Structure 1
Amino acid sequence: MVPTSSSTTDRVETFRLGPFVVPRIWTGLWQLSSNAWGSASVSKIRRGMARHVESGYTAFDMGTINFPSFDHQLIPRTAADHYGSAEIIFGQFKRSLPSPEQIVGATKWCVFKRTIPSRAVVLAAVQERMERMGTTTVDLLQFHWQDYSDQNYLSALRTLKDLKAEGLISAIGLCNFDAIRTDEICTSLGQGVIVSNQVQFSIIDTRPLHGMADVCEKHGVKLLTYGTLAGGFLADKWLDEPEPDLYSGNLTPSQRKYLDMILKAWGNWSLFQSLLHTLRAIGDRHSGLSIANIATRWVLDHPFVGAVIVGARLGVSEHPDDNQKAFGFTLSDRDNEEIEAVLSQSNGRTIITSIGDCGAEYR
C-alpha cells in the first residue's frame, strides 16, 4: 500500500460497510468522465490518488449521475453508462499498489433504458466493470434504475445478490433510489444485502431527513452522500461574492447544477450568503475551520450517513488536508440552532415536494 503517516490517518473517521472498513470521506472521481471539470494527465491523476491514500482516503467512487440541471425539462431520459475512464484509471492505480486489497473502489451499473435483466445481461454488466478495473471482483457495485414503473429492478438486484454469493461482487449498494423503493428492495432481498444508497444530501438539500433516514435505520443501510458541498458553493471562496451567472462559461457542470438548485428550489443568493456567514461564524468558533468543514460535519453528524463523497479534480483541484479537518468534532446545539434559523427561511424542507424524493430529479 502507499505509505501512510499515522499522524494524518489517525484523524480519519471510519465505519463498516459490508466487508470493508472505510473512511467517512470518499474521493469522487466523476470529473474523469468529462474534460468540462478541467483535465490533467493520467500520471498527475495517479499521483493525486496516491496523495489521498497517504492521507487515509482509501475509498474512491467512480462517479454519480450528474446532469447539468435538476430541471426536469433539461435532464436527458437516456444516457450512456459513462464511468469507463474512471474505472480504468482507478484499476490501474489499485493494481500498482503492494496491498491493493486495502483500497476500495465503488462503481455503478446504471440502467436508463427499458431492459430485461436476464442473468446474462446482469453478468455482462458486472464483468464489464471487472474488465475495466482489471479485477476479479467488484468491491461495491451501486445500482441505479431509472424507470420505477418497470419493476424488473427487483429481478436485476436478485441476480446481483446471486453474483455476490458467487464472489463476483463484495457488496451491493443503490444509487438515487427513493425511500419507498429502498424499503421495498431491502425487504425483498433480506437484511444486510443492500449496504448503501448514494443520494444527494447537504444543508441545502435535506430530503433524506424525510423518510430515507427511517428506512436506513430499519435496514442497516448507510447513505453515501454527494452534493454535500453543493458543487463547491458551500465554501469560503463564495462568501460575500456577487451572484454568479448561471449560464456563464466559467462554471463547471456541477456548479451550474447546484447553483440552479440554490436559486430555484432552495431560496435566493441573499439567503445563501446568510447561510455562508452563519457557517463562517461557526467555523471560527471551532478553531477557524472552513465553511466546507462545517457543511461536511453537518452531514456526517447524521447517524444514517456513512460517508460524504467529495469530488476531487485530481491533478487540477483537490483538498485532502482541509477535508480532514471535518473529522474529530461534532456540531453543538448552538451551532445547529443557528443553522436551522437560516434554513427555516428557505424552501429546503419543501424540496421533497417540489422536486420529489431522493433521486427524483434524475427520472
Structure 2
Amino acid sequence: MMTSIPEIRLNDGLTLPAIGFGTYKMNGASGVNGILSAIDAGYRLLDSAFNYENEGALGEAVRRSSVPREKLRISSKLPGRHHSYQEALATIQESLFRAGLDYYDLYLIHWPNPSKNLYVEAWRALIDARKWGLIRSIGVCNFLPEHLERLIKETGVTPSVNQVELHPYFSQEKQRAWDREHGIVTESWSPLARANKLLQDRTIKKIADAHQRSIPQIILRWHIQLGALPLPKSSSPQRQAENLSIFDFSLTDEEMQAINSLSHEDGRTADQDPAKYEEF
C-alpha cells in the first residue's frame, strides 16, 4: 500500500499535498485518460495552464473521477499575453469555463515577462479574483526575487507559491532560500529535467542502487527533502504510481549533498531565464 502523502500548508492556509501531477502536453481523450489514471493512482494536486490548452481535459477527468472535487487541488496559470487587469480577469473566467469548474484552488502568473512591465497589474487581478471566490490561493511561476519584492511592496500580498524550474542539475538554492524566508512554497516544474541525461546520471544511479529504488524516485525524494513540491508528469500508470512511492524512505545527508553537487549555473534545460524570457 502506498504511504500517505504529507500535506504542506501555504501562507494563506490552503493545504497542498507534498507532490503533484504535471499535465503539460496531456490533451484530448488521451489526456483525460492520463489525468484520470493519475487521480486513481493517488495524486490530488493537478497542475495545468491556460497555454497548455488542456484545462478542458483536466476538468473532464475531474468530473469522471470518483474522488470528490473538494478533495482535489486544481491549479492553472495566466499566460503572458493577458497580463493587463481586465484581460487577466477575463482569462481566469475563461479558464474556469474551459474546465467546467466553479473555482481553482491555485492560480499562478505563468511568467513575469518583465519587459512588458504588467505583472503587478496581473497580480492585482489575481488578488481580486481570490476575493470574489474564483480562486482559493494565488501564486506565481518563474519569478525572481526582484519580481517578488515588487509584488509584495506594491500590493502587500505575498504569493503562496513560486513554481520554478528545479532539478539536480539546476537546484535553485538561492531562489529556494528567498522563497522560504518569505513564507513562499517552491514548486518544481520539470523535476526530472524532462527525462534528459539526468536519468542516466552515475551519481544518482549509485544512490538508487543503494536504496533499491529507481532514479526518478531518488530525484523526487531529493525534492521532498529540499522542501520543494515536485510536479512530475507521466502517462504511464506504473510510473505514476512509482513516482508517488517516495515517502517510505529517506536520503542521507551525504546522499543529498552528492546530488546537490550536480547543480551548475547554466543547468536550465532551455534558455528560459525569467529576467529576459517572454511567454505569451
- TM-score, length basis structure 1: 0.68
The answer as to whether partners of 2:21 and 2:47 remain within 8 angstroms in 1 is yes
The gaps in structure 1 that reach 5 residues or longer are: 1-6, 34-40, 64-80, 240-275
Shift of residue 28, structure 1, vs aligned partner = 0.9
**How far does the alpha carbon of each residue in 1:116-164 deviate from its partner, in whole angstroms, 9 at most, with x for none?**
x23x322211110010011122221110345313432112211220121
Matches for 1:1-363 after TM superposition, within 5 Å = 7-8=1-2, 10-17=3-10, 18-32=12-26, 42=29, 44-63=30-49, 82-84=51-53, 86-97=54-65, 99-112=68-81, 117-118=84-85, 120-190=86-156, 193-206=158-171, 208-210=172-174, 212-233=175-196, 239=200, 276-286=201-211, 288-303=212-227, 305=228, 307-312=229-234, 314=235, 319-340=239-260, 343=262, 348-351=263-266, 359-360=274-275, 362-363=277-278
Cα distance between partner residues in 1 of 2:198 and 2:177: 30
How high is the sequence identity, in percent, across the aligned residues? 24
Shift of residue 360, structure 1, vs aligned partner = 4.3
Shift of residue 318, structure 1, vs aligned partner = 5.9
Amino acid corresponding to residue 32 of structure 1 in structure 2: M
RMSD (CA atoms): 2.8
Cα distance between partner residues in 2 of 1:163 and 1:334: 45
The gaps in structure 2 that reach 5 residues or longer are: none
The answer as to whether partners of 1:112 and 1:145 remain within 8 angstroms in 2 is no
Shift of residue 293, structure 1, vs aligned partner = 1.2
Q: Helix, strand or coil for the counterpart of 1:90?
A: helix
- TM-score, length basis structure 2: 0.86
Distance 1:352 1:296, change over 3 A: closer
The answer as to whether partners of 2:36 and 2:62 remain within 8 angstroms in 1 is no
**How far does the alpha carbon of each residue in 1:181-216 deviate from its partner, in whole angstroms, 9 at most, with x for none?**
12322343335x41111110111012x212x12321
Cα distance between partner residues in 1 of 2:40 and 2:98: 24
The answer as to whether partners of 1:30 and 1:62 remain within 8 angstroms in 2 is yes
Distance 1:357 1:102, change over 3 A: same
Amino acid corresponding to residue 173 of structure 2 in structure 1: L
Distance 1:200 1:361, change over 3 A: farther
The answer as to whether partners of 2:112 and 2:274 remain within 8 angstroms in 1 is no
